Amino acid sequence: MKRLPKDIFVTGIDTNVGKTIISAILVQALQADYWKPIQSGIIGSADVDIVKMLVSNPKSKVHPEAYNLKSPTVPIHSAKLEGIEIDHSNIKLPATSNRLIVEGAGGLMVHLRRDFMIIDLIKHLNIPVVLVSKNYLGSINHTLLSIEALHSRGIEVLGIIYNGERSAHMRDLIHETTGIHEIGSVKTAPHLNREFIDTQSLELYYSIKKHYTIV
């Protein structure tokens, strides 16, 4: 059985599929650190603050963003409004001996510059991906396209985490088409709080252990 990598990038098949909630659950399950390199468009609480609020273990540390953009729009435009250009050479994995969960911004093809997207950032950081999927009309297509894009750039996909309800048909079809397995699923939160995160993190931990050795 393969060992679960130290650093993991959490990306999604679309915007608002639950990357932050899944990231918080993974952080809690693995007692990992958390880092969101680019925050763009804070409406309500920033993702960093949400993770801080939901994670209860004393080991995890939240690292500051490389870019914290204020405008609620795509990072390339938000950066332009602030008179800056995102330079990926400034985006480096934080120094930590702990496991690290890295959360992306939006989907894979979100532009950071005209010639550089989130998928390019993943390749730049050179870490494998956990893909967050969700059951909605068109989500199988979005999941397959995301996996194909990642594979085309030589990025390793550790597995899929389904957020909310997902059908066995959806899971089986994606697995049969891509060979990528489900490493866990997370229920829709009736109340998003630490109790929910604790319960889901325990279930996800044992689900991941079926596929990877966690050291």
Catalytic (active-site) positions: 36
Q: What is the rounded distance in angstroms from the CA atom of residue 92 to the CA atom of residue 99?
A: 15
At position 25, the amino acid (one-letter code) is: I
Whether residue 139 contacts residue 22, with contact meaning beta carbons closer than 8 Å, is answered with no
Sheet holding 157-163, edge to edge: 62-63, 33-35, 100-107, 7-12, 129-134, 157-163, 182-186
**Which SS3 state, helix, strand or coil, does residue 48 take?**
helix
Q: What is the rounded distance in angstroms from the CA atom of residue 11 to the CA atom of residue 156?
A: 12
Q: What is the rounded distance in angstroms from the CA atom of residue 30 to the CA atom of residue 40?
A: 26
